[in-house]
Amino acid sequence: MTDSERMSAFELKSAVSLASIYGLRMLGMFLILPVFVFYAEHELAANHTQAGLALGIYGLTQAALQLPFGMASDRWGRKRVIYFGLALFALGSFIAAISHDIRLTILGRAIQGSGAISAAVTALLADLTREEHRTKAMAMIGGTIGVTFAVSLIAGPAFYHWIGVPGIFAMTGVLALLAMAVVRFVVPNPRITRFHSDTEATPARLKDVLKNVELLRLNFGIFALHAAQMALFVVIPLALKKAGNIDQNHHWMIYLPIMVLSFVLMVPAIIYGEKKFKLKEIFVAAIALMLVTQLFLAGLIDDFRALLVLLTAYFVSFNLLEATLPSLISKIAPASAKGTAIGVYNAAQSFGMFLGGAMGGALSQHYGPSAVFLFCSLLIGIWLIAASRMQRPPAVRTRLFHVREMEPVQAAELARRLAALGGVAEAVVVGEEGVAILKVDQRGWDEAGVMKLIEEEREHGVSQ
């Protein structure tokens, strides 16, 4: 492997440190999921509507501010915006930690969510990595989020036993402050800060993204997936305690084997879908499995053995869909609007968390837990219909290459020549960014021809 084919120490340090910031922040959100409803009910005297709103309100402020924070980082600097967002997250955590009233806890959670630094972090990562390695760096962040979620379900009950939910909130506030120190002393400063169309949203492309029916199907999917997830955590912890007569401090013993088994079962399905170009079939099957689990949960919520089987099936489908959706976004989104598509997708995810928490709490309080799962079944059922009608995603992957900065006419000509090569499904050259974005066939493409054209263009720029 040549030096250009592997991540440099600088890039690896950047990716690992920024992934750790993502992980610390998501830890603060996920740790309370399996235990918050107990705390809200017994310590804050809150009803289920209030508890669900406290869980979900984080997503509302995050959905509203993700794109503005990313755009602000272009103007005022990546690290300044990240410091500000982490400070807000810490403030909200400390407010929730000292709260003895559910309304103040809801305020703290809303402030936590307003520290919406995701777009700024990915923009900084793009500044710090070469185009050829950006996908790998982004995958490291994605993997960190998945691992953090699994660890949180297992560790949350243990932390609840040791330090309680106020302690968890205080700990996450301290972690946010430590993350600020990581940004200051560990994350490198970018040599150049610029806009990256592959990772950042631009208002000019929003209309195109919102008109794309295939992307709308995926956006509704991530919305429904996370709405169902948040609604589930309003009622499942109580159901596990009631049906299994297991104290909430020991719920980790339930979540640990479920999460391990779900990951083991998920991986072969993803490999099969990607290798055999059956991603749509795997995707639709996972949605169908989730719908079945929601329907059965509505009727078997008091049967402990059934609950364990259904939760395992739920997390198999959840983890599979959570891993597949970003891949589908990358395959379907226009190469020139990928960053905008991801921004809209992330906002839909956060809004789903809000609606799921709020509706789950209200339905649980007024109609019982079965109503929550029927609501989730409705969302997942609509998604299943929409997904079954989606076009088969192209068997492509995205590759980025550094080129010299050039005028629009030159960029268009280079894009035309690249698109004419074998296996190149789409080519966009963004001259002002000095990047070529290609969608190439997974079954084989003329990589040598692409590299030859790009090298010729670089040499032409040097000779001018």
According to the model, what pLDDT value does residue 461 have?
A: 62
372 and 234 Cβ atoms separated by less than 8 Å: yes
What is the spatial distance between Cα 159 and Cα 161, in angstroms, rounded to a whole number? 5
Crossing angle of helices 134-185 and 118-128, rounded to 10°: 100
DSSP bridge pairs for 398 = 439
What's 301's DSSP letter? T
Question: What are the backbone angles phi and psi of residue 403, rounded to the nearest 5°?
Answer: -130, 170
What's 250's DSSP letter? G
Tens of pLDDT, residue by residue over 379-437, are: 999 999 999 999 999 999 989 998 988 899 999 999 999 999 999 999 999 988 889 99
pLDDT of 223 > 90? The answer is yes
Task: Of 135-144, 306-315, 352-361, give the lowest mean pLDDT range.
Answer: 135-144
pLDDT of 3 > 70? The answer is no
218 and 325 Cβ atoms separated by less than 8 Å: yes
According to the model, what pLDDT value does residue 199 have?
A: 86
pLDDT category, 1, cuts 50, 70, 90? very low
pLDDT category, 2, cuts 50, 70, 90? very low
pLDDT of 204 > 90? The answer is no
Q: pTM for this one? A: 0.94
What is the spatial distance between Cα 77 and Cα 87, in angstroms, rounded to a whole number? 16
CA angle 137, 349, 258 (to 5 degrees): 80
Which pair of structure tokens corresponds to residue 180? 């600020």
What is the spatial distance between Cα 383 and Cα 288, in angstroms, rounded to a whole number? 9
Domains of the chain: 3-388 (1.20.1250.20), 397-463 (3.30.70.100)
pLDDT category, 366, cuts 50, 70, 90? very high
Please state, for a pLDDT cut of 90, what percent of the chain lies above it. Answer: 74
